[in-house]
Structure 1
Amino acid sequence: MKYRFALIGTLSTLLIASPALFADEFATPEEAEAMVQKAIDHIQAVGKEQAFADITGKEPGWIDRDLYPVVFDREGTNLAHGQNPKMVGKNFVGVTDAGGTAFISERVELAKTNTSYWHDYKYKDPVTKEILPKTSYCQTTDDLIVCAGVYKR
């Protein structure tokens, strides 16, 4: 009987501590900001066409756990997507997130008056496959909106 209580105690401790145990599995806001800057630097260094191909082609360094860059034009068309190449070339203005918010429309609007900003919405986590609250750091450069997001836990 005492072993059962010991096991229950151990399991309870693991469940309570589990967010800390898995914290390294998920990207941080600082890492999102760094990923956006890395993408912008790469676009400036090799040009849009090559940079978009590198990001979308999942070249090493463009996916880090649940973190990846996305690039949109100022009309809401996806130009590069580090996680899902099927998104490239599609316009997402009017598409809603899991909460019913037209989040790319919001992103495009925010880009009209901000050179950098954080943007909240709900999205499917590629690691856990759950719909979670997410925030993306975005920077505008020339005619582009470059973002990378983190899940709020």
Structure 2
Amino acid sequence: MHSFHRYAAAVVTVACLVAPAIAQERANKEEATTMANAAFEHIKKVGTEKAYKDFTTDKAAWTKKDLYVMVYDSKGVALAHGGNDKLVGKDMSAVKDPNGKPVIGGLLQKATSGGGWYDYDWPDPISKKMMGKSTYAIKQPNGEGFIGVGIYR
């Protein structure tokens, strides 16, 4: 029985040490806004083809904490996705969160109406649980579609 208590104590200790480390990996709205604006400037500087490839594959430059860049066209097709490269080229226009709220359509609408934050629920890649997410969406430099960077709330 003593070994069980030691094991349980060890598990609790590890959980207490790991949980704050995970929490520290969460980004905030300012960091997300900064990354979205940097992505906008990167597209202007290197062009869409190179920028989209960079956002999707260059994790060292375009993934910070739990942030990544996603870019969609005006029809809801993923042009770049730092969180899941398998989405690139897919039409995501019909995707809704568990509450029926349109995700890509809502982000596109937010970007085309001046940009800003859009809230919805999305699976957290760390905990795998459904969580509130806020994504900062702005129009691309060419006015086509949007650039988005989101945080978990």
Both proteins in one fold, TM over 0.5: yes
Against the structure 1 CA distance between its residues 21 and 62, is the aligned structure 2 distance closer, same or farther, given a 3 Å change threshold? closer
Distance 2:37 2:57 in 1: 19
- Aligned to 2:135, what secondary structure does the other structure show? strand
For residues 41 and 127 of structure 1, the distance between their equivalents in structure 2, rounded to whole angstroms, comes to: 29
Work out the CA distance in 1 between the residues paired with 2:85 and 2:112: 26
Check the 8 A contact 2:110/2:117 in 1, yes or no.
Answer: no
Residue 93 of structure 1 is matched in structure 2 by 93
Task: Say if 2:112 and 2:138, in contact at 8 Å, map to a contact too.
Answer: no
Report if aligned partners of 1:74, 1:111 keep a CA contact under 8 Å in 2: no
1: distance between equivalents of 2:106 and 2:147?
Answer: 14
Aligned CA-pair RMSD: 2.4
Which residue number in structure 1 is paired with residue 105 of structure 2? Answer: 105
Whether 1:124 and 2:98 are equivalent positions in the alignment is no
Within-5 A mapping of 1:45-64: 45-64=45-64
Instruction: Report the Cα offset of residue 127 of structure 1.
Output: 1.9
Contact 1:69 1:82 in 2 (8 A): yes
Q: Quote the Cα distance in structure 1 between the aligned partners of 2:21 and 2:112.
A: 40
Q: Percent identity?
A: 34
TM-aligned CA distance change 1:87 to 1:64, over 3 Å: same
Report the CA distance between 1:81 and its aligned residue: 0.2
Return 5+ residue gaps in structure 2 as ranges. Answer: 1-8
Give the superposition deviation at 1:143. Answer: 1.1
Task: Give the conservation status (yes or no) of the 8 Å contact 1:66–1:125.
Answer: no
Question: Does structure 2 conserve the Cα–Cα contact (< 8 Å) formed by 1:42 and 1:51?
Answer: yes
In the superposition, the TM-score normalised over structure 2's length comes to 0.81
Tell me the secondary structure at the aligned position of residue 134 of structure 2: strand
How far apart, in 1, do the equivalents of 2:102 and 2:129 lie?
A: 19
What is the CA–CA distance in structure 1 between the aligned matches of 2:25 and 2:111, rounded to whole Å?
Answer: 30
After superposition, what is the alpha-carbon deviation per residue over 1:5-48, rounded to whole angstroms, capped at 9, x for unaligned? Answer: xxx9xx7xx97xx9766542101000000110111111111110
What one-letter code is carried by the residue in structure 2 that aligns with 1:62? Answer: W
SS in 2 for 1:149: strand
Contact 2:108-2:145 at 8 Å conserved across structures: no
Residues 65, 127 of structure 1: 8 Å contact kept: no
